[in-house]
Each structure stands twice: as C-alpha cells, then as structure tokens.
Structure 1
Amino acid sequence: MYSCPSFTVTTVLTDSSAVVTVIGEIDVDAVPELQFALDRCLDQRPGALRLDLSAVRFCDCAGLNALLRARLRARGVGTTLVLYGVPPVVARLLALTETEGLFGRRIAA
C-alpha cells in the first residue's frame, strides 16, 4: 500500500483476480504509484482486474493515461479490466476524451 495526503492505493490479489482500490486524487504525482500497483497486479496475469474508483475525487490527463496504459497491458496479458464505482468526475473525463468505449464494461458508482 502507498499513501500520501491526497492519494491511497491498495491491492488485493487472489488466485484468479485482483482488486485495486484507489482513494483520492489521481494526478501527475500519484500516477507512478498507481502504475506500479497496476503493473504488479498484471505481472500475476489475473483473469480479471477490478479497478475500484468509487473514492476518486479527481483525475487529470496523467490519470487517464495510466488507465489507458493499464487497459492496453491487461489486454496484452489476457486480463479483463473492469472499472468499478466510476465517479462522475472520471465518467466526465472519459466522455470528454471519447475514451469511455475503450473500457467496455464499467460499473458506475
């Protein structure tokens, strides 16, 4: 687990899946830690990776880039990436950048 005043990421791995929970602000300062957590999960090649964004208060373009990179990497290792608890701030960013369709299944907050 990594934590700073405006960002926390936790990871739970099981035999067949992973859950990464993000709390706070996904910005340029937080992206390296988020990317590290996502890469570590994807190194295990889980069947599914659930990215819980329900407690995200802000996401900038650097955060969007991290989500897009995770999507590409997940596809490359045969993992299904599901965005869960997508808050309005992230949903709006995905809509404005016309990237919401790239994530397929999304479960709203």
Structure 2
Amino acid sequence: MSTLTLTINKQDYQLENLDARTTLLDVCRQHLQITGPKKGCDHGQCGACTMLINGRRVNSCLTLAVMHDGDDITTIEASECQSHYRHCSKRLKTMTLFSADIARLVRFAQRPH
C-alpha cells in the first residue's frame, strides 16, 4: 500500500493507493474538494489550472500528483492569492459596470431626437 503526502495551502493530505496517472488538478478537485483551480483546456494553454509548486508556476492539468510528494503546493484558495483575487474581481466588476454605462450612453446618443 503506497501513501502520497501532498502539502496544499499549508495543509497536509494523505492519499492512499492513488492511480499514478492522476493529475494534480484531478486530485485537488475530485479527491480533496479544492475547487479553485479549474479544468479549462486540459492542454496547459489557458492557465485556469495554475498552481504554485515550491514557488514556481505549474499547469496542474499537465503534472502528475505523484511527482509532488512532499512539495509545497499553493492554489488560488490560499489567503494571499485569494486577497489578490478578490481585489481583481472588484476591479473587474467596476470596469464592467463602467462599460455598461458607456454602452447605455452610446445607445442614448444614437436615438433619434
């Protein structure tokens, strides 16, 4: 019986008899219910699955979980990243609202008077 130990967001997880072909992304989403990293293209092109492993960016859809036994893994759920994510989300919402206001003004200006 083999045990894989993953440290994700400073929390240790023990996985028993994991299929060696399982990606890190699938372990997080399907086995550990860590759903911040997303499966987008499943080819490593979109970046939705990006995680930090020992401080380096990695496409988790392309890396096998067994390769990272004992590594320090950080996902978007980590507080530092989450804080940045919330900040970006607020800015994006503001920009979206601003864009909607501009679109309304353009439509209003195009109306016959």
What band does the TM-score fall into relative to the shorter chain? Answer: under 0.3
Larger radius of gyration: 2
* TM-score in terms of structure 2 length: 0.23
- Structure whose residues are more often strand by fraction: 1
Superposition TM-score, scaled by structure 1 size:
0.23
